[in-house]
Each structure stands twice: as structure tokens, then as C-alpha cells.
Homo-oligomer: A and B are copies of this chain.
Amino acid sequence: MDYQAILEEIATEIKPYIGQGKVADYIPALAEVDAQQFGMALTLFDGTQYSVGVADTPFSIQSISKVFTFTLALDAYGFELYKRVGREPSGNPFNSLVQLEYEQGVPRNPFINAGAINVTDALISHFGSPAKASKEILAFIRMIADNGTIESDKEVTESEMLHGYRNRALANLMKSFGNLDNDILDVVQTYFEHCAIVMNAQSLSRAMLYLANHGTDPISQQQFITPQQAKRINAVMLTCGHYDASGDFAFHVGLPGKSGVGGGIVAVIPKTMGVCVWSPALNAQGNSLAGTKALELFTNKTGISIF
């Protein structure tokens, strides 16, 4: 299949959608991003990469980092992890306290904020300190992206710390139910640090390969998690990866994926490739509007689908 031609068709057809929606504006560092940007990249198992638009422009990965922390925590804890966090769709806006209270402090899945904060807490306990956890998370992302220059943006983290009262409320509520080990400010800071990691679409499409290939990097042949675990992370991405539009994404795109409020979306095409699209303006559910549309075009044009 001529992937480059398909990407270029998408780049043409997507133009009317770019800039539609609204860039995340709850912190200045995100609000200043130019909405008129679009980039998309694919990485095949042999390392071949196709891209279009600003696929090499770095952006804040935000909730996409939750895929990587979930991976590390699953590797560290195995099934024990599910005592702390579930794997059911939330059926509610992504940062709702209601469900967390109703379910006694156990977040429904690792991709809602409460769940990702809880997973971060688990990683701090596992690695021994907030600093060590942050270091290991970054090291893992550099490794799977095969890119040693990736960093977290300190300004974004600081800005989040000044505004993140709702996330602290979630952490305090979990702590009140006994479902959080470490100091709340430490956990929230570590969580914001990995959300503030900056990557481009090319690196992110590369970083998805281990999930497309049963847990093993198809280029380095390094195994990060078991095939069973990879399959299950994909399942959770499909059912819970897009806040309250996860059903809609599965419906229109039909691929395991994860979006972030920075405007990035990663997707996995099992046995074939990793994909990443980026366009900063978000739809009403907080997912990149043009990005979602581009992935739908991609699956329609290639006929690729897991269904």
C-alpha cells in the first residue's frame, strides 16, 4: 500500500477541519499553541516511517503518557494492579469525582485522571521515590521511541501544579479510601511531569510499535511486556482511550488508541504499525477534532480495521 500517498490525500482532505474546535486553554503553556497545525506519522515494523505535515514538531503528550505508565505498572505489578484500578469504561466525563466516590476510591480504568494518578502512585512505590519514578518513566519512553533527547517541560508541570485542584481532589479522595500510598503533592507532581513530556508525531508512532507487536519491539526485538499484557493494554485503549468518546472512536476509527489534550492521538494497528496524528484544536469531548477525523479517513482509505 502506498502509505505516503494516502497520508497526502488525508492532509488535503483534512484541511477544512484543521483549527475547528478549541485548543486546551486551562493552562497558558497549552493555550498558546497555534491551532492551525496538523501532522501525522506511521512507523512500520521494519522502521520505515511515513509522515505528512508537521510530524516533527514537538507537542505536549499529556494523557498519551498514561499508556506508558500503565505499561510500566502492569509490568511491575501484574494482575495485582487491578486491586487499585479497574478496566471498565467510565461513561462519564474524564475527571468526574462522582464515580470515584460511588466506587469507593477505585478508579474505573488507568486512562481517566484518577486512574492515571493511582498508577503513578503505584510506580512511585515500586521505584522507591518520585524522582526515581519520573526518571524510569522518561527512560522507558526514550527507549520505545528510540529517541534519547525526549524531555518533560518544566513550565507546563509548574503551570499544572498551580491549577490542578481537581486532580488533587481526586488524589485526596482516593487517599481517604486508603487507595493511595504516597504523599499527595508528590504523586500529583510526578503525574504532571509525565503528562508534560514533549514528543513529535514521528517519535510517538515509533513508540507504539511494542503494542502492535505483542509486547516486543519489532526493531530491537526487546520484549517489554507479555503478549497477553499487550493485548490487554490494546483492549483498554479501545474501550477507554478517549474519555467519554471512547465508544465513538471505536465506532468511527475502530483501532486501539489514546488521545491527549495536547491534541495528539496515538493508535495501534496490530501486527502492522504504530500511528500518531497531531492537531491541537479539540472537540467537545477533549479529543483532537482533526486528528480523530484523520484517523477515520486513514482506516477508510486503507481498509485497515480490527473488526
A interface residues, Cβ below 8 angstroms from B: 86-92, 96-99, 101-102, 108-109, 165-166, 168-170, 172-173, 175-176, 184, 228, 230-232, 234-236, 238-240, 244-248, 250-252, 254, 256, 268, 270, 300, 305-307
Contact = CB atoms under 8 A, between A and B. Distances in A.
17 contacts: A87-B251, A91-B108, A96-B101, A97-B98, A97-B169, A97-B173, A98-B102, A108-B247, A165-B172, A165-B184, A166-B172, A235-B247, A236-B247, A236-B251, A238-B238, A238-B250, A239-B246
A296 to B, nearest CB: 11
Contact of A165 (B176, B244, B305): B176
A161 to B, nearest CB: 13
A165 B169 contact: no
Contacts of A168: 168-169, 172, 184
A88 B91 contact: yes
Contact of A87 (B108, B170, B228, B247): B247
Contact of A91 (B99, B238, B307): B99
A176 B234 CA distance: 33
Nearest to A163: B176
Given A89-B91, A166-B172, A306-B307, 6 more contacts: A89-B247, A97-B101, A98-B102, A165-B184, A169-B172, A239-B239
A173 B274 CA distance: 38
Given A101-B98, A108-B91, A247-B239, A307 B176 contact: no
Contacts of A172: 165-166, 168-169, 172
Contact of A88 (B231, B245, B256): B245
